[in-house]
């Protein structure tokens, strides 16, 4: 699921109020809970404070209301924890996000040459340098993220909700 709850500043963005996103997430997870699912892993690849708060609120509600365990991870926090990316300078549409998308499906990267000529990429939502991206680096990031999550889950105690965001 790919949703942004940031204000739509560029064509193609879809605005979803944080309350709507929170309720939608609760609805999806409640559906799985109704079929007996008790453990969930959510991996966020995008989203700032509003989205994180929505996820936290939804998960806290579900953990209190149902006998479920939910672990939530944010890719940028994992890469920061592993000292693979300086997320203070590479936060959005920069090297690490572009590399991961290239590794998954490089046809999703459109008009990268635009950034070679662009003098102010931050006006287009870019915080980082997408020109340093590569599919190989993306695969390294993906492997590191999976290994990190696997290690965390193996060491996780009976906590109802776990957040690494």
Model confidence pTM above 0.95: no
Count CA atoms within 13 Å of residue 28 on its CB side: 11
Q: What is the pLDDT of residue 13?
A: 67
pLDDT in tens, 57-95: 999 999 999 989 999 999 999 999 999 999 989 888 889
Can you give the residue ranges of every domain in the chain? 18-164
- State the residue for tokens 């944080």: 18
CA-CA-CA-CA torsion sign (144, 146, 148, 151): negative
pLDDT in tens, 15-61: 788 999 999 999 999 999 999 999 999 999 877 888 899 999 999 99
What's the Cα-to-Cα distance from 93 to each of 37, 89, 150, 164, rounded to whole Å? 34, 11, 26, 21
Q: What is the pLDDT of residue 85?
A: 95
Superfamily of the domain at 18-164: Creatininase (3.40.50.10310)
């Amino acid at each position: 699921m790919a949703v942004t709850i940031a204000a739509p500043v560029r064509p193609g963005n879809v605005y979803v109020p944080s309350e709507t996103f929170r309720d939608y997430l609760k609805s999806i997870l409640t559906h799985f809970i109704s079929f007996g699912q008790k453990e969930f892993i959510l991996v966020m690849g995008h989203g700032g404070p509003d989205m994180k708060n929505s996820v936290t609120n939804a998960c806290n509600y579900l953990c209190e209301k149902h006998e479920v365990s939910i672990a939530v991870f944010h890719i940028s926090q994992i890469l920061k924890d592993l000292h693979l990316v300086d997320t203070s300078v590479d936060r959005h549409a920069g090297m690490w996000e572009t590399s991961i998308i290239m590794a998954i499906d490089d046809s999703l990267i459109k008009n990268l040459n635009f950034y070679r000529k662009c003098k102010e990429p931050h006006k287009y939502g870019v915080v980082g340098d997408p020109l340093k991206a590569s599919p190989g680096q993306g695969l390294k990031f993906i492997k590191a993220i999976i290994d990190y999550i696997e290690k965390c889950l193996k060491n996780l105690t009976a906590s109802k909700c776990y957040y690494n965001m």
